[in-house]
Amino acid sequence: MNPNILLFSVLQATAKIASSHLKWNICKFHIEHMVPGLLEVLSICMDGRLTEDICEAWQTLYDIIGNMITVQKGVRRSTQ
């Protein structure tokens, strides 16, 4: 698959996820507080085999989603 198409697909998906969280007034700090609990649950579900790389991937994903939420909130404010 073309890397540009893959990147565009990932950006579209994260933007859609972020947009769906805006209606609940979720902010990036909510996401930041949720991630440690998420990682703990994942570790339990994976029988303790959660690696540092997997943790970092989940943290990066939710950081991107949190940033998208922040950007979309700014865009909505400026158009209202």
pLDDT of residue 4: 85
Q: Which is nearest to 33 in space by CA: 68, 54, 62, 74? A: 62
Instruction: Pick out the chain residues at pLDDT < 70.
Output: 76-80
Rounded CA-CA distance 23/19 in Å is: 7
Q: What pLDDT does 79 receive?
A: 67
pLDDT at 6: 85
Tell me 24's DSSP state: T
pLDDT for residue 73: 87
What pLDDT does residue 80 have? 58
